[in-house]
């Protein structure tokens, strides 16, 4: 059997190695148009910033290594330009010699990945304007930064690549401005969680401009000039264009293979395309999002690796199926970590799902053990079924494991309230006896049983001027005096029982504290004394982050589209 793989990196390289493990006699060839067949795609920004010092560390496997270990023939700088599916041949161009030849196959795996979206900016091909996809792109940016010593950079786009590039350029001492067309960075999370990202970047000295539509990028007087609607031109020494990626579908489209959502290559759960001898994996394919049960394009390395293995299994006669992805992701922003899984609140709204959410602000590990830091954890679930829809977490220590636990729970079909029953590892340096994931489950259980009623940040504007309710802050007097929400009176939790006569029991009471715990205890006291009480989800820490982010709107929304 002869198997050709078009493209390496996560999907293609994984498929090749799995094929060899399953079939020692197969002829396996990888065609890769770049000079690197298996590299740490997700590590590229960190080489630019110096976090990864040696560029050799980016290379996971070389063509020579593939041959020595697996007897797989890797041909770099070879571009497949056409699939002749009726003849089961490929037209291939050797990019170094310029020669073109035909190569036959029995089975074909497409792993072309995704390509950066490149707008028709005037200076898109300038040596001062960059996109980031390959090792070659990385080397160009690193070389420019080393040799030209730029003092300023503009990053257009606030997704994963944009944020990682902003961090790593800033670490090189470059003045960085992020321009984002929408009203928040990192669309995998909701605006409330994103407020922590915005604050972190500002504190690290990164400038952010929201609601700005870049109309052109030019090079003038040896500098990059960014033109935008409603905003004066921005001058910088370099620019990174990171407005997203699109499935690399050229070969599949020209071959008449079926395409799906976003023109990604349509595949079944065995990773087969519409042609039974052609498989496709990675960022170029359409897959099932197992939370929404809708077709989606999820450009992440984890799914690509799994898909490569599954394609290899099926080619070798082993029935193996891809169950889809929950779109779990994580990013480091300086010393902060942001992670998510499933869908966010905005997506739940767009899908008309009847959902509920809980937001909590637990410590990363036991408070009495040194070094504990606060995190914000948001869990979204379907009201009727209690099916977990997604979660987001932002903090410093332990963010990754909380999202991974909830991602596992989603995949296993665990009900949201059952998060409280998970038996998770505990020792003071790592967690609390009631892990944050357990705490989310406890809150959901209380909400669904009517033991606690909630209100959220979006509710506050409609509450502050009402005379028929009481707004109560149960933090200490010291905490309250350092900052509080207008209209909230202060009765510390430990004084509430003695001062409960100050509360008009005929009025509903909306209660806030720093993290949501003391206010929950206050609602229990009030409820059992005949008072209707509501707990603020997320605590004053969340409110302050969102509020301070909104205060920055005047400077960060120059075009005035903030909502």
Cβ neighbors of 81 (< 8 A, separation 6 or more) are: 91, 92, 93, 100, 251
Cβ neighbors of 342 (< 8 A, separation 6 or more) are: 291, 326, 327, 328, 380, 388, 389, 390, 391, 406, 407, 410
CB 262 within 8 A of CB 298: no
Taking 90 as the threshold, does the pLDDT of residue 41 lie above it? Answer: no
Share of the chain above pLDDT 90, in %: 88
Lowest mean pLDDT among 149-158, 490-499, 543-552: 543-552
pLDDT at 465: 87
Cβ neighbors of 326 (< 8 A, separation 6 or more) are: 289, 290, 291, 341, 342, 407, 410, 411
Instruction: Report DSSP letters for 4-40, one per residue.
Output: EEE--HHHHHHHHHHHHHH-TT-EEEEEESSS-SEE-
User: What does the alpha-carbon distance between residue 34 and residue 112 come to, in Å, rounded to a whole number?
Assistant: 11
Q: Which residues are catalytic, by number? A: 42
User: What does the alpha-carbon distance between residue 30 and residue 13 come to, in Å, rounded to a whole number?
Assistant: 8
pLDDT at 128: 97
Q: Which residue's entry shows tokens 């033991």?
A: 451
User: What does the alpha-carbon distance between residue 347 and residue 189 come to, in Å, rounded to a whole number?
Assistant: 10
Q: How far is CA 416 from CA 68, 340, 347, 391, 494, in A?
A: 49, 16, 18, 11, 31
CB 239 within 8 A of CB 259: no
pLDDT at 352: 97
- Segment 455-475 mean pLDDT: 95
The model's pTM: 0.94
* Most confident of the ranges 8-22, 219-233, 435-449: 435-449
Mean pLDDT of the chain: 94
Taking 60 as the threshold, does the pLDDT of residue 478 lie above it? Answer: yes
The more confident residue out of 198 and 563 is 198
pLDDT at 556: 66
pLDDT at 512: 98
pLDDT at 563: 46
- Segment 222-248 mean pLDDT: 94
pLDDT at 134: 84
pLDDT at 103: 98
- Segment 84-95 mean pLDDT: 97
Taking 60 as the threshold, does the pLDDT of residue 24 lie above it? Answer: yes
Show the tokens assigned to 57: 């560390």
pLDDT at 54: 81
- Segment 76-100 mean pLDDT: 97
> Which helix or strand (DSSP H or E) is residue 261 part of?
none
Convert 448-490 into a string of H (helix), E (strand) and C (coil): HCCCCCEECHHHHHHCCCCCCCEEEECCCHHHHHHCCCCCCEE
For residue range 354-397, list pLDDT tens digits in order. 999 999 999 999 999 999 999 999 999 999 999 999 999 999 99
- Segment 8-33 mean pLDDT: 94
Residue 497 has a CB neighbour count (10 Å cut-off) of 10
pLDDT at 9: 82
Closest by CA to 19, choosing from 374, 383, 313, 254, is: 313
Taking 90 as the threshold, does the pLDDT of residue 146 lie above it? Answer: yes
Taking 60 as the threshold, does the pLDDT of residue 562 lie above it? Answer: no
For residue range 502-532, list pLDDT tens digits in order. 999 999 999 999 999 999 999 999 999 999 9
pLDDT at 135: 83
- Segment 127-156 mean pLDDT: 94
- Segment 304-309 mean pLDDT: 96
């Amino acid at each position: 059997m002869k198997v050709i793989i078009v493209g390496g990196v996560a999907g293609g390289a994984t498929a090749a190695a799995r094929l060899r493990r399953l079939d020692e006699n197969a002829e396996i060839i990888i065609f890769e148009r770049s000079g690197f067949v298996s590299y740490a795609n997700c590590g590229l920004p960190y080489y630019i910033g110096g976090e990864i010092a040696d560029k050799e560390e980016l290379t996971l496997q070389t063509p020579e290594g593939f041959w020595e270990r697996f007897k797989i023939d890797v041909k770099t700088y070879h571009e497949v330009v056409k699939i002749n599916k009726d003849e089961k041949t490929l037209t291939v161009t050797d990019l170094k010699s310029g020669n073109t030849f035909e190569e036959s196959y029995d089975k074909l795996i497409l792993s072309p990945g995704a390509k950066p979206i490149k707008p028709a900016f005037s200076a898109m091909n300038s040596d001062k304007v960059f996109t980031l996809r390959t090792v070659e792109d990385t080397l160009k940016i690193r070389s420019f930064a080393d040799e030209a010593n730029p003092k300023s950079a503009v990053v257009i786009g606030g997704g994963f690549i944009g944020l990682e590039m902003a961090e790593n350029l800033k670490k090189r001492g470059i003045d960085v401005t992020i321009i984002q067309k929408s009203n928040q960075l990192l669309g995998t999370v909701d605006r409330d969680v994103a407020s922590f990202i915005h604050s972190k970047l500002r504190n690290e000295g990164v400038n952010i401009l929201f609601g700005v539509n870049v109309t052109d990028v030019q090079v003038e007087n040896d500098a990059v000039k960014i033109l935008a609607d409603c905003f004066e031109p921005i001058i910088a020494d370099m620019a990174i264009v990171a407005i997203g990626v699109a499935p690399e579908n050229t070969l599949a489209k020209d071959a008449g293979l079926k395409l799906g959502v976003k023109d990604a290559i349509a595949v079944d759960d065995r990773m087969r395309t519409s042609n039974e001898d052609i498989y496709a994996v990675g960022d170029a394919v359409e897959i099932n999002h197992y939370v929404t049960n809708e077709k989606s394009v999820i450009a992440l390395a984890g799914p690509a690796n799994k898909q490569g293995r599954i394609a290899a299994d099926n080619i070798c006669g082993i029935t193996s199926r891809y169950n889809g992805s929950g779109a779990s992701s994580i990013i480091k922003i300086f010393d902060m970590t942001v992670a998510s899984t499933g869908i966010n609140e905005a997506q739940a709204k767009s899908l008309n799902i009847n959902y509920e959410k809980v937001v909590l602000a637990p410590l990363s590990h036991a408070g009495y053990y040194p070094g504990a830091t606060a995190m914000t954890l948001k869990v979204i679930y379907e009201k009727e079924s209690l099916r977990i829809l997604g979660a987001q977490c932002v903090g410093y220590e332990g963010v990754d494991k909380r999202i991974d636990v909830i991602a596992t729970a989603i995949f296993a079909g665990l009900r949201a309230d059952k998060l409280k029953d998970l038996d998770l590892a505990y020792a003071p340096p790592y967690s609390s006896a009631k892990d944050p994931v357990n705490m989310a489950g406890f809150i959901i259980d209380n909400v669904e049983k009517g033991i606690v009623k909630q209100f959220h940040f979006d509710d506050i504007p409609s509450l502050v001027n009402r005379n028929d309710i009481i707004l109560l802050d149960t933090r200490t007097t010291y905490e309250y005096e350092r900052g509080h929400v207008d209209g909230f009176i202060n009765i510390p939790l430990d004084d509430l029982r003695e001062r409960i006569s100050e509360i008009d029991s005929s009025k509903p009471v909306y209660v806030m504290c720093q993290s949501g715990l003391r206010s929950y205890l206050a609602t229990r006291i009030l409820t059992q004394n005949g008072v209707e009480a509501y707990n603020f989800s997320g605590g004053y820490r969340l409110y302050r982050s969102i509020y301070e982010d909104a205060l920055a709107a005047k400077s960060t929304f120059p075009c005035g589209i903030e909502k």
